[in-house]
Structure 1
Amino acid sequence: MSYKTIVVHVDDIPNAGACYTFAAELARVEQAHLIGLASSGVSRFLRETVAMNYAAPTIRPYLDTMRDRAAPTIRPYLDTMRDRAARALDQFERVAASFTLAGSERRAVDDEPGRSLSALARYCDLCVLSQGSASQGAGLAAEVAKDSGTPVLIVPRAQAPALPIRRILLGWNGSREAARAMRFALPLLQRASAVDVAIFDTAALESEAGAELRPVTALGQTLSRQGVRAEVIQRERAGDAGEALLALAGERGAQLLVMGCYGHSRLRELLLGGATRTVLKSMTLPVFMAA
């Protein structure tokens, strides 16, 4: 398994260049095709409303009236948002050109970032995006992971991460999401020099698995068969699993955190799982998530 098509979210947020550099370096290592996707932020509904088919004679008078009223207000807004996306894509292209890649391209779409990234990510192996500003919240990464089914790798805004990634912390609770994150992260886990597996509340994990299965042993065997030598770290039940994961990542010197992304709604932060919300808000290292 490898990542042969990587899409990176292109936006003009602070430290965006670090996100593009990380994505390009990963694409170079994986010999992957890199796509930079910039979304104007204009909703599909607004775009299609403005760009309706005026040829239909039965509605032309009404639409002409609406167009005349809307165009002076909307057109400058559209132009501003598209110019912003184009400038961000120019920066992405400069970064991508500094790496020897299998291929790269830029794409610009008129849509909301969550929708456009999710749609394209379904045809990619990995989506890379920045943590963003504190005011933006943690919703975009979780939304893309949930809606696309493709893993996301979030680059922290606090500092530029370094490659190669030698030490990885894998958060494990036996869930479907954690299992998907582990499998999607195998190319990174296999190249790492050290992999730590964090399990909080082993008793609960074993109880849920049943008497026929020993989760800690089974997980170690699964990783070993994939060529990953891992050390399992068992801790008592944590009050906030997200805080506990980040603390352990710092303690172990991890350069990447791999975990499941939990949430049951596109209402973003409001209904994200607690660990997901905490990690995406407070992360200082890259985070690999799958839902």
Structure 2
Amino acid sequence: MSYKTIVVHVDDIPNAGVCYSFAAELALVEQAHLIGLASSGVTRFLRETVAVNYAAPSITPYLDTMRGRAARALEQFERVAASLPLIGSERRMVDDEPRYSLSALARYCDLCVLSQSDPVQGASLPWPGLAAEVTKSSGTPVFMVPRAQAPAWPVRRILLGWNGSREAARAMHFALPLLQRASAVDVAIFDTAALESEAGGDLRPVTAIGQTLARHGVRVELIEHDSAGDAGAAMLALAGERGAQLLVMGCYGHSRLRELLLGGATRTVLKSMTLPVFMAA
């Protein structure tokens, strides 16, 4: 498995260039085609404006400003992409909201790269649940780049959060190209007793996850953890202790009325992450 088509969210948030660089470096390593997708935010503006006539000349300057801001962000993306010998890259701009446009395009990609959301900055008004919604709506894994600091490249040490769930299994399988390149992989196993109880029969989840990864050439260290508290906080703390450069985890939550109600672990990680996070649902 490899990532041959990667889409990165293009926005005007402060760490946008870091996100583009990270996506471009990954595309270079994977020999992947890189797509930069920007949303002008026009659709949302038109939906929320009180103007009766959307074609009225009075609102044209506002629309031009929004599209111009997205175009300038795309120019920055193009400069970053052009700085590396990628096999291919392209820019795309849409008026629809990122949660819809990214979800739709990501279904035709192997990986979606996003910056950690900032509720204050950004032309497209990103919100904290964007990554989780794209992950769940598209079925494509999402690579989150933290806004606090530039992530290290290449990724050498990875922490995989494991609780035996479908989401964790998908995250593990999608992240295999990264896990195989890493020099050290720690697997944090939460609720071992409950995990073994649910498995039943002769299946021993703690042993099985190690064997599964070993067959893919990934040697791991298993760390059993009592998740009596917030599993998200526990994973971030453990990532810091182990010097992890990437956290791989399942994305938990459910959708209702187009709003994602995040599971506790996912919410904590997306809000407090200071290292890149790879998620799948």
- Asked whether the two chains share a fold, i.e. TM above 0.5, the reply is yes
Distance 1:23 1:69 in 2: 36
Distance 2:84 2:167 in 1: 33
Distance 1:112 1:96 in 2: 23
Q: Which runs of 5+ in 1 are unaligned?
A: 48-65
Distance 2:199 2:262 in 1: 24
The question of 1:232 aligning with 2:222 is answered yes
Q: 1:64-100 deviations in whole A, cap 9, x for unaligned?
A: xx98675134322221110010000000001111111
State the percentage of identical aligned residues.
84
In the comparison of the two structures, how many residue pairs are matched?
Answer: 273
> How high is the TM-score relative to the length of structure 1?
0.89
Offset, 1:266: 5.6
Letter aligned with residue 138 of structure 2: S
Moved over 3 A (4+): 44-47, 66-70, 134-137, 266-270
Distance 1:268 1:29 in 2: 36
- Partner residue in 2 for 1:251: 241
- Partner residue in 2 for 1:176: 166
Distance 1:280 1:98 in 2: 30
Q: Which runs of 5+ in 2 are unaligned?
A: 121-125
Offset, 1:211: 3.1
Aligned-residue Cα RMSD (Å) equals: 1.9
- Partner residue in 1 for 2:108: 123
The question of 1:104 aligning with 2:89 is answered yes
Cα 1:267–1:92 shift into 2, 3 Å = farther
- Partner residue in 1 for 2:252: 262
Offset, 1:46: 4.4
- Partner residue in 2 for 1:21: 21
- Partner residue in 1 for 2:3: 3
Q: 1:79-135 deviations in whole A, cap 9, x for unaligned?
A: 111001000000000111111101001001110011000000000000001002254
Distance 1:44 1:282 in 2: 28
8 Å contact kept, 2:46–2:54: no
Letter aligned with residue 162 of structure 1: A
- Partner residue in 2 for 1:53: none
Q: Which has the higher helix share?
A: 1
Higher Rg of the two aligned structures:
1
8 Å contact kept, 1:8–1:20: yes
Offset, 1:43: 2.4
Matching residue within 45, 63, 88 for 1:78: 63
How do 1:1-291 and structure 2 match up within 5 A? 1-43=1-43, 46=46, 70-133=55-118, 135=120, 136-265=126-255, 271-291=261-281
